Amino acid sequence: MNASRRPMALGDLPAVMAVEAQAYSHPWSQGNFIDSLAAGHLAEVLTDDGLVGYFVAMEGVDELHLLNLTVAPTRQGHGHGSALLAAVLAHAHARQLPTVWLEVRASNARARALYARRGFDEAGLRRGYYPAARGREDAVVMRRALARVHPPSASLQEAPDALE
């Protein structure tokens, strides 16, 4: 069955929370998702006969910050993470946001490899960012620069000879 994306809704949260619990030792809380939806953050689910995955991203000044991208553990390895990430990048491009940022656990080699394949570079390290079984774990900060389409400036349209 083909998976399809749509905006995340409050009614999706029971399934989202089940996937969070399966995917992470320290999952987001339901309140994190409710707050993200209430704030108007970009949030989508990927579904077929059930929840495949989802993402939440926050728009900022000249950037999109990917807060959470998760594929159900039983559905990983089939390109769903890549499809969700492509959707995030498409949203950033459509909104003319030149940079996408994210944090990923330093130990999450599979996710880091996906982000690297999609053009993300490591930009820094946040020490002790994530809770872990034994204290805290570092986050690798990654970014991807996108081509930005600039609309023509009104002043340049009105005075083209100013460029000469």
Kindly list the catalytic residues: 103, 115
| Strands of 28-120, DSSP E | 42-47, 51-60, 63-71, 99-105
Q: Which of 23, 106, 93 is closest to 64 using CA atoms?
A: 93
Cα 116 to Cα 91, 113, 119, 133: the distances in Å are 19, 5, 5, 26
The token pair at 157 is 């349209």
CA–CA distance, 97 with 124 (Å, rounded to integer): 20
Chain centre distance of CA 163: 40
Cross-sheet strand order for the sheet of 4-7: 4-7, 42-47, 51-60, 63-71, 99-105, 135-145, 121-132
User: Is the separation of the CB atoms in 21 and 70 below 8 Å?
Assistant: no
